[in-house]
Amino acid sequence: MVQNSRMFDFLRYDFGYSWPITRGHLIVFLVFASAAALCRWRGWPRWTTTLTSVIAVWALGGALVMHYVIRINSPLTLPTERFLAPNTGRVVDLGAGSGRATVMVLQARPNVTVTSLDRYTGYYGIDDNTPDRLRLNARIAGVENRVRVEVGDMRRLPFKDGEFEAGLSVAAMDHLQRDDIPMAIAETARVLKPGGEFLFVTINSDFWVHLMMPLAIHGHGGYWGSRANEALWRQRFNDGGFDVVETGTRPAELYLLAKKRALAAAR
């Protein structure tokens, strides 16, 4: 029953992703499917019908991936049950945006609280990206009483040392400039307690991503797959005072679960 209800999450939530992301593939499908039908009806050369049909099929596949594999307008699901297994503590979501990851954590771990932090400036695929949009989605999920929204920069976190038991960043820290990433990781280590968990999720350049965005630069560091990207981020977290305890992939996602070393704050 829960799984069935999640199928219609895209009708409930408003995560605000721009129309090229949410409807772009469908528009391409309608245009090229119509063109293919016209080519066939007018008896134009077979290659025109074939070409427009192939593009239409690709676009339909991309739309299905976006809405039924990635589920772009639904809350995320935890990639690993090891994250926050005790189901207690304070969590910080870095680069929370409109709340897909925040709602994920609050739904999966009903005894935790989440502080959602974002600069709420610039454009990262979300129209009208504001704290109010995140609060709205938390309210739709019924978890608004356990979330606090802060405006701030993950490179200079406005929190005390050791304030949180856990943290996460989903498709956010990987958008920073390369030279700024170590700063964000160091700040994350500072605000976590020793042994605190950090869940990092980025794009995985897998079959689904290549199908959906064949011409895009994938994975923010690894077009040809997850291994190089995983090694890159593993090294970054190791240098920043974390031990990576689990890695894995799901369709379009690569995740790393890390724990802060006891001496990380002293480095």
Question: pTM of this prediction?
Answer: 0.90
Give residue-wise pLDDT tens across range 213-222: 887 655 454 4
Q: Which residue has 């990987």 as its token pair?
A: 174
Domain range summary for the chain, segments of one domain joined by +: 18-69, 89-266
SS3 248: strand
Strand extents, DSSP E, 35-177? 89-94, 112-118, 147-151, 164-170
Q: SS3 helix, strand, coil % of the chain, rounded to 5?
A: 45, 20, 35
- What tens digit of pLDDT does each residue of 11-70 get? 689 999 999 999 999 999 999 999 999 999 999 999 999 999 999 999 999 999 999 999
Interhelix angle 181-191/226-239, rounded to 10 degrees, is 60
Domain 89-266: CATH class, spelled out: alpha beta
Q: Which of 108, 106, 172 is nearest to 137 (CA)?
A: 106
pLDDT band at 265 (very low <50, low <70, confident <90, very high): very low
- Residue whose tokens read 């964000």: 184
247 Cβ neighbours under 8 A, 6+ residues apart: 230, 234, 254, 255, 256, 257
- Output Rg (C-alpha) for the chain, integer angstroms: 20
